[in-house]
Structure 1
């Protein structure tokens, strides 16, 4: 973009040189005057200022002022070629830094004032064939504010309009840059949020897997204390169950970390593993089972796993667990019941109402599901609702 604008400025500078040369060639009175060299310098200075306005705006502004001051000092008339100052005014506002921007804005006030003062004192003039100085003064005098103020307004407006155009593009460009920066920051924040969500989900999965296995292992280890000393077969069975639970936990953790496993639809195996570990589990279902989308399948597996872990950890030792799955037209409902010993006078206490239940609620919330818990008599009931769509 910068190279393109630089080329355009170079092309405009070449146009100034050509038009200035043509102007000098067509005006006999200029060509034959003793100021022909001064006119040439004005054309060259204007062309150079146009060509440099993109790359070095301060130098361009300095050339304009040097040209104008030189014309005033030598009483050299204004050339039509110098209408290219409008291009310079545009470029200073569009590409100049803050100092150049304010300096160029000040020039639109100072420049016309200086020019009008010099014209009024006959220090510079406007030669034919472009305009008669008397006609110029008479024309601007019709503005009603005196010819000096009128001339200052005309000169300032002619330069201010392209300057304002350049300023508008500058502000628009800055707004686009700020918008792009804000968009990049938003995308970066969203990416960070996704990473943190993935980390939270990973931690929750590992918690569910390890917590469930440790609950089974702990139950087996506790039961081993009450086995008869002369029954090695029962002890070996308990140790085998512990080993199986640990092995399954290690396998599940690996699958969670690699995200390649497919255990989300293995609800029956999850229950069978508990039974193999010596827990009594009563199951039942209503409705017609259907295939679940991947997010719902993952949530169903992890939530049931945590519900069973919670029941083992906080339920009556040796008490039966009840798991019921109910399929409706729009949701799968999983209910887990386990017996408890409620504290006296606190029949509505919620065993395990800590990070485990909070984790289940958060997991279900991500798919639009809900979790309800409560105590009915001496039974703790946890019910998860998983929408099918």
Structure 2
């Protein structure tokens, strides 16, 4: 029944209604000075006009605050006006504002009640005006009495219905504008939430890539240092240096990702093709030699999203090779005009190979493969894995074009 509206709007409506009443009531008295009512004395008719005007303008004052109460007051004022035999008055203009409010700010039920009031009120008003304007002295006119009354009532009724319907339709149009704005705002909020979720997923994926790769290098170097500590201490020293460098690099990357998580707008620098050499160097320090082939070479500067995807896919694939493979790993990059093809192939222990005591045999895959596939799909590409008895191959095709931006 009562809506929550800002106080300035309520004050504006009340002030506007008071201003309209102060203008239209004197105009109504002046307009109907000769014959204010068809069957009430002048003093009573004047009182009824003032009461009717206050009801209608009171309805207009609270039409935004409570469309149902405003419509009830407007109907009460209109019926009181007709019951007192008053003619159409300038104060009736406030009814247009009430009908506008029912369709603009009312509930769904009030919307249709306002439309029905526009039609029903127009028909009733047309009949009432037809009765008031009927001239008894013109009974001798060629047209019968009933026909003249019907034509006059229909004409006035259609005029009033159209006028009231225009006010109701204007409110309906404003209602649609407001709903469109609300839908747009809801869509923008949903897009913001989706973008934030994608950002969290991206950061989680980067975190997985950084931590998994760095830990794989650290574990490999630690195992090597443990075995070389007694026989070749200098190799153990080099392994410790590599572990320290890898840990510092991983710590820096994790700090950058956490900074992005706290300040989403401030994205840090992302890896590019220029960082692949450092990645291959880390793999070599872990005891795995990447045999890299680039044919053909990139034609110009690839998009940043493609460079990041290539780096992350190679990082995860090489991490799998360090953790699960044996021997060296073959890496091939083919930069074509419309796509880049990636192939990473490494030997893995056969299923029958015994595992170390206290360990569980593992095979490449799991979250790492899922992350690589998501990386490829993010730029419109595809990624497949081929798990043979002795070989594990990762193949990816990433488009270089509008879908990669």
TM interval, short-chain normalised: 0.7 to 0.9
Q: Could you give the per-residue CA deviations for residues 33-54 of structure 1, whole angstroms, max 9, x where no partner exists?
A: 9933234335434544453342
Counterpart in the other structure of 1:284: 293
Contact 1:9/1:50, CA 8 A, preserved across alignment? no
Q: CA deviation at 1:188?
A: 1.1
Counterpart in the other structure of 1:41: 47
Find the aligned partners of 2:20 and 2:174 in 1 and give their Cα distance: 22
**Distance change in 2, residues 1:279/1:323 (3 Å):** same
Find the aligned partners of 1:173 and 1:372 in 2 and give their Cα distance: 54
Find the aligned partners of 1:40 and 1:163 in 2 and give their Cα distance: 26
Equivalent of 1:91 in 84, 93, 97: 97
Find the aligned partners of 2:291 and 2:344 in 1 and give their Cα distance: 10
Find the aligned partners of 1:379 and 1:106 in 2 and give their Cα distance: 80
Counterpart in the other structure of 1:67: 81
Q: CA deviation at 1:340?
A: 1.5
Contact 2:53/2:77, CA 8 A, preserved across alignment? no
Q: CA deviation at 1:337?
A: 1.4
Equivalent of 1:266 in 249, 259, 275: 275
**Distance change in 2, residues 1:320/1:248 (3 Å):** same
Q: CA deviation at 1:243?
A: 1.8
**Distance change in 2, residues 1:109/1:282 (3 Å):** closer
Q: Could you give the per-residue CA deviations for residues 164-206 of structure 1, whole angstroms, max 9, x where no partner exists?
A: 3333233333222222222222111111111110000000000
For residues 306-385 of structure 1, the aligned pairs below 5 Å read: 306-316=316-326, 319-343=327-351, 351-375=363-387, 378-385=390-397
Q: CA deviation at 1:363?
A: 1.1
1:257 aligns with 2:266: no
Q: Which moved more, 1:16-25 or 1:207-216?
A: 16-25
Q: Which runs of 5+ in 2 are unaligned?
A: 1-8, 63-69, 260-266, 353-361
Q: Which runs of 5+ in 1 are unaligned?
A: 72-76, 120-124, 345-349
**Distance change in 2, residues 1:135/1:218 (3 Å):** farther
TM-score of the pair, normalised by structure 2: 0.73
TM-score of the pair, normalised by structure 1: 0.76
Find the aligned partners of 1:295 and 1:107 in 2 and give their Cα distance: 60
**Distance change in 2, residues 1:176/1:3 (3 Å):** farther
Contact 1:61/1:92, CA 8 A, preserved across alignment? no
Contact 1:371/1:385, CA 8 A, preserved across alignment? yes
* Secondary structure at 2:293 match in 1: strand
**Distance change in 2, residues 1:44/1:225 (3 Å):** same
Find the aligned partners of 1:180 and 1:192 in 2 and give their Cα distance: 18
* Secondary structure at 1:380 match in 2: strand
Counterpart in the other structure of 2:31: 23
Structure number with bigger Rg = 1
1:294 aligns with 2:294: no
Find the aligned partners of 1:256 and 1:21 in 2 and give their Cα distance: 77
**Distance change in 2, residues 1:373/1:107 (3 Å):** closer
* Secondary structure at 1:186 match in 2: helix
Please give the root-mean-square deviation of Cα atoms over the aligned residues, in Å: 3.9
Q: Which moved more, 1:37-46 or 1:234-243?
A: 37-46
Contact 2:345/2:391, CA 8 A, preserved across alignment? yes
Equivalent of 2:60 in 49, 54, 65: 54
Find the aligned partners of 1:254 and 1:304 in 2 and give their Cα distance: 22
**Distance change in 2, residues 1:241/1:108 (3 Å):** closer
Q: CA deviation at 1:160?
A: 3.5
**Distance change in 2, residues 1:78/1:140 (3 Å):** farther
Find the aligned partners of 2:219 and 2:318 in 1 and give their Cα distance: 14
**Distance change in 2, residues 1:227/1:20 (3 Å):** closer
